[in-house]
Structure 1
Amino acid sequence: MKFSENWLRELVDIPVDRDALMHRLTMAGLEVEGVEALGAALAGVVVGEIVACAPHPNADKLRVCEVAAGAAVPLVIVCGAPNARTGLKAPLATIGTTMPNGIEIKRAALRGVESNGMLCSAKELGIDADASGLMELPADAPVGTSLAQYLGLPDASVEIKLTPNRPDCLSVLGLARDASALFGTALHDPPGAPVAAAAGATRAATLDAGADCPRYCGRIIEGIDASAKTPLWMAERLRRSGVRPVSALVDVTQYVMLELGQPMHAYDDAMLDGPISVRRARAREVVKLLDGSEHILDDGFLVIADRKGLHGLAGIMGGHDSRVTDATKTVFLEAAHFAPGAIMGRARKLGLHTDASHRFERGVDPEMPRRAIERATALILAIAGGTPGPLTESVLAADLPLRAPVALRRTRLARLLGIDVADAEVERILRALGMQVEASADGWRATPPSHRFDIQIEEDLIEEVVRVHGYERVPTRAPRGELLGPVLPEARLEISRLRAQLVARDYAEAVCYAFLSTDLLLKWQLFDNTVMLSNPLSADLAVMRPSLLPGLVAALAANRRRQQARVRLFEVGRVFSGGTPVDPSPVESERIAGVACGRAVAENWASEARALDFFDVRGDAESLFALTNAADAFSFTPGGPAWLHPGQAAEVRRDGVAVGWIGALHPDLLAKLDLDDDVFVFEFDVAAVSRRDLPRAEAVSRYPSVRRDLSFELPEAVPYGAVEAAIRDAVGETLARVVLFDRYAGPNLGSGVKSLAIGLILQDRYRTLTDQDADRCTALAVSALESVCKAKLRG
């Protein structure tokens, strides 16, 4: 919202300077985004009139002008502006004037002709951006008068940033109301006396949209001069408010909107046929708007129509065919109240954004249309003449919005603000903001005015009190009492520990979207039992992710396409599934996942290049398991989902319960994802890998250990985890450690057979083991391997 500072000061007495005013508005919630000072250095600039204008004798593009400036003899001015002509009145900077850009005007000879000042454009004066020619002043501008005095300068164009709940401040009157309450000074309402009808012409209006348009006011004015020029004072206020003047009739409607906050429209009455109807658009109905654009509508739009067809989109923009032009003789003024819900989003749907839609979407005073018609009528009669007819009003009283009283408790006010505001001050503030206030035993009951759509609950009133009373008057106090930190159970690892461990293993953390495309999930064979979004941002983000891996692998592929040969990424995040037939509610769980490809170690001089393999990534996963103090509880079983390589995949279990997968991606999936290198992945439930066994302190045995080595053959399909588990179960507590120090498979052993060499480290905490003890433990281990793992001891 842009406005002229002088315009605001005309409507309310403001006892402070510009800087203090801007600070006070900002502190009251009307954030000042910018202030553009206008005409601050125009001493020496007067109204001049060109009384003679001739070509320069030595320059084709220059003219020699004689300019009357209030002195006995006209001044000779050399000017290059294309619109310099006899009879034109324009600003004249006299000798000795310092312009806003710092240039001092001096007597100078231009191509042999002495110039005694400078005729100015609006841009050179710092009051507008127009530099196309001299600033043209009205013919009645008094010659020799100070330009600043004539234009009402100095002034400032102020831009404020409003929150959506304050549409009442999208007008100078609304800002003046707030300023009046802030400074406790008088508010001077703009003129709004009813204009007596001098003719009988009327145009009826029917309201066929119910609560979407419960009030419609109109008036016919005959015999106007549509070519009349907009007065300078109005044009300047429009410019300083960010609106370019167009024509007298359009400028009046724009001016009233800026002044009172009520959007209006002027129709050429000769182009209307029969009564006005405010109704819903019919399917496929077409409207041509003021800007020349045509739009196909549906029944979600409100339209203004007559018997011939559509004449505009209600609350957005008027129609092209019934627009006012310089040939218009009779004008029909319209001011209506449209419900915010009926306008909201309609302009954006058509790619439009207008001042009217901006206001109606947020809420316009339902009591303002009649006053706006009267104000616009008076302005048009003063500028363009004419004969007004009676003001007509159609209203659905039951559908007009009503402001219900809101209770404000004294104790609640003090509790939320932390200070006591005097009862008299609370009542003054509420009444200054236009509310009807009734005292009650525990506080007040305030009925908001019709223009305050945002006052609905007690907290709204408290906000009004504190912003007018002054946020800076609320003391800053430190909170009392102790703040207790979160209690972190020792039996659970913090997520940060898991992240730090993977970072230490040369992984980088990634954050991927929680939404994936259907096509990607179909490639992964993960589309079953997923959670679909009912209103996705796009087709590529239509499904909640059932796994972290598709997003991570996509990130890996993006890095590979950017010449990153060695990539390691991990993510901790939530995944989603569709639930069960018994309970179809979506289920979410937290997972930790990693992806890796390229070399096993970064390129360096101390080691040979080696491609990453399954056991490198398994080592990374086992480093996570080690943090739980229960690494032995995790086991790897061959197998896994269909998207993993059948020969390089394992299901990971903890205490026999599946907690995730690890392995290489299937070659078919790599081809679908356009990846040309092996990619190894893992994904585990965070709950499983963050559950930690509490460490227990035990005395170190003072007795020596004994080692027995075993070499045996067994089927290739038997995993080493089963071998170690069988040995531990058979030997018991005497077994301190198991070491696998050799593995062999080859033609000497036959197909499907491997050879393992294992060292048993035996130790007792209370005595030295004898050879008989060691032989007995070895025999137990051999017997278990033979029976459980189908192993055969080698000689």
Structure 2
Amino acid sequence: MQFSEHWLRTLVNPAIDSAELERLLTMAGLEVEEATPAAPAFTGVLVARILSAEQHPNADRLRVCRVDVGAAEPLQIVCGAPNAAAGLLVPCATVGAVLPGDFKIKPAKLRGVESAGMLCSARELGLSEAHEGLLSLPEDFKPGTSLRDALLLDDTLYTIKLTPNRPDCLSLLGIAREVSALTGAPLAEPKSETVAASHDATRAIDVEAKDACPRYCGRVIRGIDPSRKTPDWIVQRIERCGIRSISAVVDITNYVMLELGQPMHAFDTAILSGSLRVRWAKEGEALTLLNEQEVKLDAKTLVIADDEKTLAMAGIMGGDRSGISDETTDIFVESAFFSPAAIAGRAREYGLATDSSHRYERGVDYALPARAIERASELILAICGGNAGPVVEVLSEEHLPRRSPVVMRMARASQVIGIPLDAETVATVLSRLGGELTVTADEVRLLPPSWRFDLEIEQDLIEEIARIYGYEKIPEVMPVGKMAMLPQPESRRTPMALRAKMAGLDYQEVINYAFVEEAWERDFCANKDLIRIANPIASQLAVMRSSLLGGLVGNLITNQKRRASRVRLFEIGRCFKRDPAAKPVAGYDQTMKIAALAWGPSDPEQWGIATRKADFFDIKGDLERLVANPALEFVPLAHPALHPGRAAEVRIGGRAIGWIGELHPTWVHDYDLASAPVAFELELDAVMPRVLPTAVAPSKFPPMIRDLALIVEATRPVAELLDVLRSAPEPLMQSVEVFDVYQGRGVEPDRKSVAFRIRFQHTERTLEDREVDAAVEVLVGLARARLGAELRS
């Protein structure tokens, strides 16, 4: 919506400048997208009357003009415009004037004749592109008046961006109401005098679609003078609102639309046959519009027709047989309320965008048609002459919009806005909206005016109070929230602490999508009960993951393609599988897991360590450091993703919490990996507990170390031996560690030798050899009794 500030200030004139007006409208929700001057800057241009225009003695195309600029003596100005003639009122740039483009007027001599200024065309003043001759000014202008004052050129054109719920501001009156409400400045509404009928001619109106057109008004005006020109003040106002001047009657209907917000149309009664009908179009009915576009109408399009033909698309655009011409003397002026539901979207379906449809589809004041037709009649009679007939109105009250009272609680308004509100302040603010207002200490009841479609619920009134009171007046109060440090059990780590631990182990964190390729679930998890995504973001990411391994392998492939020689990654994320008993999402278990993958050298390349590939035991050591729980166990495991014999189930206290192992050779080959990575995956909740250390006073006495080699079956896990030895009821034993596993010469082929280093120490005295020897015998006996182990000689 574009409008002229000068026009607006004829309706409401607050004591603020243009910049403040722009800020005020924007802060109130009527966002000003652009504010441009109505004319470029220039100075020293006056209204002048040409007193005489004589032929230049030395040039055929020049005239020597005597010009009255309101000074004591006329000026002599040489002019080359073809329309320069005595009696014409034109702009005159006097000596010292500065025109657009920083063009300065100086005394000059043209072909030997002195010239004290310049008579100007519209283009030279930057008012339009017209340059065929001098700009002709209205006869009522007084010579010597500043042209900027005479033509109101010190005007600002505002373009505001309206939200769809504020169609009342698609008019100067609507914007003026807003400015009046925001500033408290008095509102001078356009006066619409009732035009008395001077003849009884009418035209019958038949509204068949009453739900789409509950109110239709019309009036016959006879004997207008089609040759009358639109007054300059109307032309200026509508053109500054972006509408081109066409003819007096059409300009007046456009003027009323801009002023009041009511679209109107004038028909030539000479082309009407019988009564006017408001009906739904017939399927396939043809209509040629005013823009010469021919459209095929459908049955959902509302039209205006007479007894013989279709005249217009109701609320959108007239047909080529509905307009007035230069010979029209009798007109029928219509003004109607069309339901927004009947107009919304119809113009776009036909590739149209009109001022009328823009207003009707958002909502026009349903009480406005009668007032608008009186205003238009008043202007037509004053400008074009003629005689008005009675206004005919067809009304279907049951189909008009209903305005219900809106109730607002004072306490709720204060709570939402954040400031205390009293009844007087609320009454002052809301009374500026119009409508019927009742204010008590506890609540407000407002029956909105007919033009405010957007006031329907309590929140609407609260918004209006904040908007009109002024958002900038609401103090900025920082929210206050009492904060207390939550207890963080020392025995439980946070996911962030686990991330820090993994980073300290030389792993880098990755974050992958929770939806993965179906092949990953099939290969790495043997998952046949996939959770499919109804609308995947990509065709290959079509299922939810049940393991983090697929994402880590995908990251490894990406890094390997980019020539990475060493990759160590970890991820903490949620995995999904079907579980009818799962909560909180019924039917789906959503477990948080932590997984890691290592590939390439065990350590970065350096001079002091020989380069070797990371193996199962490197990653097992990282896992043990991460979990740091003495109850950690590793049990052989068969896993679809892992190498047989190089995979283990991870347990804590006998409960399985995950797995660890080397990727299966099949997948190493199928996924084009240079070598097999090693990975582990654990339940996050099982890793978060921390085993707290117990304070033990160090012994002052030296320890005694014994190395013990036991021979057991080659298939027996070393962990079983460790568990048996550590469970021995031997108080002198401080620790048991494995330092060697041997198979070969001296040991039977189906057996192996496992060597342990055992530390004995007493806190109060030095141990004797016999005590330690006896303890060793106890350990050997226990291993022999439980596992059939033999002491290696």
Above 0.5 in TM-score? yes
Report the counterpart of residue 433 of structure 1 in structure 2: 433
Contact 2:317/2:354, CA 8 A, preserved across alignment: no
State TM-score, norm by structure 2.
0.72
Contact 2:192/2:374, CA 8 A, preserved across alignment: yes
Rounded Cα–Cα distance in structure 2 between residues aligned with 1:503 and 1:352: 62
SS at match of 2:403: coil
Shift of 1:186: 1.4
Shift of 1:75: 3.4
Residues 344 and 205 (structure 1 numbering): CA distance in 2 closer, same or farther, change over 3 Å?
A: closer
* 1:305-704 alignment runs, 5 A limit: 317-318=316-317, 333=334, 335-339=336-340, 363-372=363-372, 374-375=374-375, 396-414=396-414, 419-440=419-440, 442-477=442-477, 482-504=482-504, 528=529, 530=531, 532-533=533-534, 572=572, 574=574, 580=580, 585=586, 587=588, 589=590, 591-592=592-593, 599-600=600-601, 606=607, 625-626=626-627, 629-630=628-629, 632-633=631-632, 635=634, 638-640=637-639, 652-657=650-655, 659=657, 684-689=682-687, 691-693=688-690, 695-702=692-699, 704=703
Report the counterpart of residue 207 of structure 1 in structure 2: 209
Shift of 1:687: 3.5
Residue 216 of structure 2 is aligned to residue 217 of structure 1:
yes
Shift of 1:6: 2.0
Farther off after superposition, 63-72 or 489-498: 63-72
Rounded Cα–Cα distance in structure 2 between residues aligned with 1:226 and 1:190: 25
* 1:159-198 alignment runs, 5 A limit: 159-162=159-162, 165-193=165-193
Rounded Cα–Cα distance in structure 2 between residues aligned with 1:175 and 1:760: 93
Report the counterpart of residue 18 of structure 2 in structure 1: 18
Shift of 1:695: 1.8
Shift of 1:21: 3.0
* 1:150-299 alignment runs, 5 A limit: 150-162=150-162, 165-193=165-193, 199-207=201-209, 210=211, 213=212, 215-217=214-216, 219=218, 233-234=233-234, 236-238=236-238, 240-241=240-241, 243=242, 245=244, 247-248=246-247, 256-262=256-262, 276=277
Task: Give unpaired runs (5+ residues) of structure 1.
Answer: none
SS at match of 1:404: coil
SS at match of 1:98: strand
Contact 1:637/1:652, CA 8 A, preserved across alignment: no
Shift of 1:710: 3.8
Rounded Cα–Cα distance in structure 1 between residues aligned with 2:277 and 2:660: 73
Contact 1:38/1:153, CA 8 A, preserved across alignment: yes
SS at match of 1:455: coil
Shift of 1:572: 4.8
Contact 1:42/1:147, CA 8 A, preserved across alignment: no
Residues 303 and 574 (structure 1 numbering): CA distance in 2 closer, same or farther, change over 3 Å?
A: farther
Rounded Cα–Cα distance in structure 2 between residues aligned with 1:216 and 1:238: 27
Contact 1:11/1:190, CA 8 A, preserved across alignment: yes
Report the counterpart of residue 6 of structure 1 in structure 2: 6
Report the counterpart of residue 782 of structure 2 in structure 1: 780
Residue 756 of structure 2 is aligned to residue 759 of structure 1:
yes
Shift of 1:231: 5.7
Contact 1:518/1:527, CA 8 A, preserved across alignment: no
Rounded Cα–Cα distance in structure 2 between residues aligned with 1:322 and 1:118: 44
Contact 2:304/2:314, CA 8 A, preserved across alignment: no
Shift of 1:14: 0.7
SS at match of 2:9: helix
Farther off after superposition, 646-655 or 447-456: 646-655
SS at match of 1:16: coil
Task: Give unpaired runs (5+ residues) of structure 2.
Answer: none
Rounded Cα–Cα distance in structure 1 between residues aligned with 2:257 and 2:118: 40
Shift of 1:705: 5.9
Name the Cα RMSD after superposition.
Answer: 5.9
* 1:70-89 alignment runs, 5 A limit: 70-71=68-69, 72=74, 75-76=77-78
SS at match of 2:208: strand
Residues 715 and 694 (structure 1 numbering): CA distance in 2 closer, same or farther, change over 3 Å?
A: closer
SS at match of 1:407: strand
Rounded Cα–Cα distance in structure 2 between residues aligned with 1:522 and 1:113: 100
Aligned-partner residue type, residue 97 of structure 2: T
Residues 418 and 227 (structure 1 numbering): CA distance in 2 closer, same or farther, change over 3 Å?
A: same
Rounded Cα–Cα distance in structure 2 between residues aligned with 1:645 and 1:720: 20
C-alpha distance after superposition, 1:135-159 (max 9, x if no partner): 9956747596533223323122334
Rounded Cα–Cα distance in structure 1 between residues aligned with 2:681 and 2:76: 91
SS at match of 2:43: coil
Residues 761 and 107 (structure 1 numbering): CA distance in 2 closer, same or farther, change over 3 Å?
A: farther
Rounded Cα–Cα distance in structure 1 between residues aligned with 2:736 and 2:357: 78
Contact 2:492/2:689, CA 8 A, preserved across alignment: yes
Contact 1:44/1:94, CA 8 A, preserved across alignment: yes
Shift of 1:520: 9.0
Contact 2:659/2:681, CA 8 A, preserved across alignment: yes
Rounded Cα–Cα distance in structure 2 between residues aligned with 1:54 and 1:635: 116
Rounded Cα–Cα distance in structure 2 between residues aligned with 1:635 and 1:600: 24
Rounded Cα–Cα distance in structure 2 between residues aligned with 1:615 and 1:295: 80
Contact 1:705/1:762, CA 8 A, preserved across alignment: yes
Residues 601 and 311 (structure 1 numbering): CA distance in 2 closer, same or farther, change over 3 Å?
A: farther
Residues 139 and 159 (structure 1 numbering): CA distance in 2 closer, same or farther, change over 3 Å?
A: closer
Rounded Cα–Cα distance in structure 1 between residues aligned with 2:312 and 2:748: 90
Rounded Cα–Cα distance in structure 1 between residues aligned with 2:727 and 2:463: 72
Aligned-partner residue type, residue 530 of structure 1: I
Report the counterpart of residue 706 of structure 1 in structure 2: 705
C-alpha distance after superposition, 1:343-381 (max 9, x if no partner): 777888999877667666665544345545555566667
C-alpha distance after superposition, 1:602-644 (max 9, x if no partner): 9766577776766666666655x43xx537447576344x567
Contact 1:206/1:394, CA 8 A, preserved across alignment: no
Residues 587 and 34 (structure 1 numbering): CA distance in 2 closer, same or farther, change over 3 Å?
A: farther
C-alpha distance after superposition, 1:540-596 (max 9, x if no partner): 888776666667777777777778777766655555666539998464736355676
C-alpha distance after superposition, 1:624-679 (max 9, x if no partner): x43xx537447576344x56777876665555555556667778878998988877
Shift of 1:466: 3.6
User: How many residues are matched?
Assistant: 763
C-alpha distance after superposition, 1:27-58 (max 9, x if no partner): 44445454334447433234689999999x99
Residue 768 of structure 2 is aligned to residue 771 of structure 1:
no
Rounded Cα–Cα distance in structure 1 between residues aligned with 2:12 and 2:253: 23
Rounded Cα–Cα distance in structure 2 between residues aligned with 1:205 and 1:523: 72
Shift of 1:478: 5.6
Aligned-partner residue type, residue 759 of structure 1: F
Contact 1:33/1:160, CA 8 A, preserved across alignment: yes
